[in-house]
Amino acid sequence: MKKVKKYSIILVVFLIAGVGFSFVTDNNGKYFQIAKNIEIFTNLYKEINTYYVDDVDPAKLMRTGVDAMLESLDPYTNYISESEIEGFKYMIDGKYGGIGADTKDIGGDITIVLTHEGFPADEAGLKPGDVIVAVDGKSTEGKNSESISDILKGSPGSTVNIDYKSPGSDKKKQVAVTRKEVKVPNVPFSGMVSDDVGYAALTTFTQDAGKNVSDALKKLKKENPNLKGFILDLRGNGGGLLREAINVCNVFIPKGEEIVVTRGKVKDWDRSFRTLNAPVDEEIRVVVLIDNNSASASEIVSGVLQDLDRAVLLGQSSYGKGLVQNTRDVGYNSKVKLTTAKYYIPSGRCIQAVSYKDGEPLDIPDVKRTPFKTQNGRKVLDGGGVKPDLSLKDAKLSNVLKGLNKEHLIFKYVTDYQMKNREVAAPDKFKFDDYSGFMNFVATETFSFDTDTEKTLKALDKEAEDDGYKELIQSEIKSMKDKILQNKKNDLKKYQSQITESIEKEIMKRYYYQKGKVQIGLRNDSEIKEAVKLLNDANKYNGILK
């Protein structure tokens, strides 16, 4: 611990010396303030480590200080420690060194919830529902899923020994899994959603996103010469690499088109980005699906195609992240990912949300957003995300389905279902038809959920007690609670269709991986149906863009 303190002090002294040198040439006193406050911070850090009543972990203390400092900036400026580098590489490249399995803490057990097709966990026979009880001889008891996931990651070629139990068995098994580079597909599914409309889901803008969308469209055109329209699904896509956003745009717009301009404090870093390749198709009708979780690179693609009147956007307003991040090395194999610029799309607008609450962007009324114009003269707005050309009401999850997901009951039911069914039909033919069996399963589990109305009543009950009115309205509150309870018992039947869709997706994920989940989800997707309808109506499509 003394060594850590000594090195920390030496490091900060060097920082102060460097800053002090810059201070000599600075006229506005900014570098003096930096040097002064670093010295105060160093002295504070030293005093706490030396005299605080309990032993202090210097690294943990410093991390708390760093995180608190960065929290005062935007939510996208973060410190990435050496132990977090693998996760960071996955966000950027879509690949990491590991076994190719996702885990979650379910009822205190570290449970595999997804395996990626053809990767080490899948090849070793591990399946969703298996419980990991030890890794390299060390028990997982009391550990969280995130820490176990970090242990399972590692250098390709290295081996990890996993002790696990399969569903329905108390017998412990062991398997040695050789890690390798895991690359998760960013286009998990593409195909036809009607006789003449194609579709591709892009889940993240990792490496080769543009190429994969391009290849998907080329394949659909080759196999379907009468292809009239194409749906690009960016719902839930949180973004990724800027260059891949440009490459995806390039699939539909010509070479040499300006896509994005970035501007920040360091003027030498300001850049203009243009398409570099010939497009796949400049004429095909395109609908882009977006929602509240479409962010960053997703907003570049949807915003650019809207500004150039190249596609119709359908869905809900996007997230509102118009910022560019870069990473800088800060020593000891750690980095800081910080916002260095804002991006501006062809109309001249930036879609960045201007304020946040709890790390989430706040809604900006249209009257407070500056209007811009698309290439054809249509009005579009800056700030607060990209607004779709055709807004659709978001299909909200029922409270009962939220409750089932929170208690992992659909996951547990499908684990039981998989033990009884070795095979199921392909995604385009499968239909779940044992809802009564699911209801019987739920009846054997402890299951409860609160509706928004019940939460309001609980708050009202407390307020009434604080104000001295509880006795006055107690009978009315009880009557309302009883009525809600009676209705809740019927919610499993009332929302059967929505719950069945969720069960079908989980089943397909088990037998046909992520691709199967996406494919079966298209069958009852109302937004896909609206997109197909629009693409088949040339007059309406062209009318929106003109």
Distances (CA, A) of 13 to 18, 62, 329: 9, 16, 19
> Could you read off the pLDDT of 244-302 as tens digits, one per residue?
999 999 999 999 999 999 999 888 889 999 999 999 999 999 999 999 999 999 999 99
Neighbouring residues of 251: CB distance < 8 A, sequence distance ≥ 6: 210, 213, 214, 217, 279, 280, 281
pLDDT at 90: 58
pLDDT at 183: 83
Q: Please state the pTM of the whole predicted model.
A: 0.79
Helix (H) or strand (E) holding 198: strand 197-201
Given a cut of 50, the residues of the chain with pLDDT beneath it are 1-25
pLDDT at 8: 45
Report the distance separating Cα 314 and Cα 534, nearest Å.
10
Report the distance separating Cα 200 and Cα 198, nearest Å.
7
pLDDT at 26: 54
* CA dihedral (63, 66, 72, 75) positive or negative: negative
pLDDT at 4: 42
pLDDT at 541: 97
Domains and CATH numbers, the chain: 2-72 (no CATH), 95-183 (2.30.42.10), 189-394 (3.90.226.10), 399-449+495-527 (no CATH), 452-489 (no CATH)
Cα angle, residue 105 at apex, residues 291 and 412 outer, rounded to 5°: 80
Beta strands across the sheet bearing 285-290: 189-192, 197-201, 229-233, 285-290, 312-315, 390-391
Neighbouring residues of 5: CB distance < 8 A, sequence distance ≥ 6: 46, 49, 50, 58
> Could you read off the pLDDT of 304-348 as tens digits, one per residue?
999 999 999 999 999 999 888 888 888 888 888 888 889 999 999
Distances (CA, A) of 361 to 319, 341, 355, 381, 383: 7, 18, 6, 16, 10
Residue 254: which region, alpha, beta or left (left: phi > 0; alpha: psi -120 to 50)?
beta
Cα angle, residue 171 at apex, residues 166 and 177 outer, rounded to 5°: 60
- Quote the tokens at residue 85: 């580098």
- Quote the tokens at residue 316: 């809900």
Report the distance separating Cα 205 and Cα 242, nearest Å.
8
Report the distance separating Cα 301 and Cα 317, nearest Å.
14
Q: Cβ distance 327 to 75 under 8 Å?
A: no
- 380 has which bridge partners? 372
Amino acid (1-letter code) at residue 176:
A
Q: Which residues form the catalytic set?
A: 296, 307, 321
Residue among 297, 291, 313 nearest 374 (CA):
313
pLDDT at 22: 45
Report the distance separating Cα 538 and Cα 513, nearest Å.
36
Neighbouring residues of 76: CB distance < 8 A, sequence distance ≥ 6: 321, 323, 325, 337, 339
pLDDT at 519: 93
The residue with tokens 């629009």 is 534
pLDDT at 376: 96
Residues in the chain: 546
SS3 label, residue 474: helix
C-alpha dihedral over 199, 204, 205, 210, to 10 degrees?
-20
Cα angle, residue 281 at apex, residues 277 and 286 outer, rounded to 5°: 120
pLDDT at 358: 67
Helix (H) or strand (E) holding 9: helix 2-24
SS3 label, residue 369: coil
pLDDT at 3: 44
pLDDT at 147: 86
pLDDT at 95: 63
409-420 vs 496-521: helix crossing angle, rounded to 10? 70
